[in-house]
A and B are shown apart, each in its own frame.
Chain A
Amino acid sequence: MLKDVAFPAVREKLPEMLDLLSNEVDPHILQDKWRNRLRVCFEEILVNICDYSGSDKLYISCELINNNTFRFEFSDDGMPYNPLEEAPEVDVDAGIDERRIGGLGIFLYTTIMTKMEYNYSNGRNHLIALKEFSCEEVD
């Protein structure tokens, strides 16, 4: 379990943040596919906070609940901003010419996670991600 582990909100710290989350999560997950998918989500969420929140620090929490659901919380002290409201439509059937360059990151984490929530409280943005696995996917 990780509880409000603080990092400077800069890209240079991203490898450390990803390692911390991997060390916490990977031993419980049986499929490389899901380890990889979660890492994709973590990278996107953390990079967005580092690049756009304006916060000096970000905070990471992670816990396994009910033996098969991970709850991740990413918070920062930046201006109130709900990334889930900004999610652009991504047409996965579009051809090369029609494809838009942006929007893939948020599309990925909202697709991969079971549930995403945002709130602003106590002077912080809180982005909460729940990922429920089947019994075959976690140990």
Chain B
Amino acid sequence: MDTMRDRFAPVVTHLLDEDPRVAVVVAEIGKVALAEAMRRHPHRVINVGIREQLLVGAAAGLALTGMRPVVHTFASFLVERPFEQVKLDLGHQNAGAVLVSAAASFDWPAGGYTHMAPGDVALLDTLDGWTVQVPGHPDEAETLLRHAVAAGDDKVYVRLSESANRRGHRVDGRGLRTVREGRAGVVVAVGPMLDAVLAATEGLEVTVLYATTVRPFDAAALRRATQAAGTDVVLVEPYLAGTSTGAVSEALVDVPHRILGLGVGRRELRKYGTVEEHVAAHGLDAASLRERIGAFVAVPARA
């Protein structure tokens, strides 16, 4: 299967052909796949070199002239390193952009902690007005990229990952989707976590909601799900554990509820190896999830 990132260049190349407002800005990373787009649109595909403050600042300048900038690099260099540019050059200037990250929380474990960004969504949560898309499959990534670019002058973050579910779901760039219905709690699986969550909750009496759009958080859909399934809520996120705990808490502010926030741990592992080893180390493999979710909802698996 191709990856979400494999879809990025073909999709934006097509969007560049279609829409004269679209500009793509990169900082070396990802430029090879954009060679054809750069040849066709030399003034709208811009490689600023290894300069991430300029990457975001220049995108803001493009937006201020009416363009729709699509900015792409690894999450750690897109959100963390130039965070003040994201806050000020986009947010404070009232300028929109589509930030498309790669490498996610630990797509390249052998690359070590410098190339891991489990905190990206939590950081964006400190800012106003960001839409956050976390596709779980290359087909979803393609759809959500198109939605993001078409979203006027909105600020949109699209988090691409090498990890993916076996099959894609129909996504609309908005709310939560009900994948399974039960009566003993609600599990919200974000993006690439869905397959592991479905395996982990097999036979448990829980409702599983699938989230690819995590901000704004679909509070209404969560509330609807809790009417039948109760207000024990488990979040399984492919980035920092507990990132969406506040959003769930806000959605259920007027009803007693419990929340378990699962995701990537804060502690630096100082380990290399494989994605599977890191998934296990953070307790995000199906067996660990089953144990933790099962204990939380306290419903024994049916025989």
A and B are interacting partners: no
Binding site for B on A (CB under 8 A): none
Binding site for A on B (CB under 8 A): none
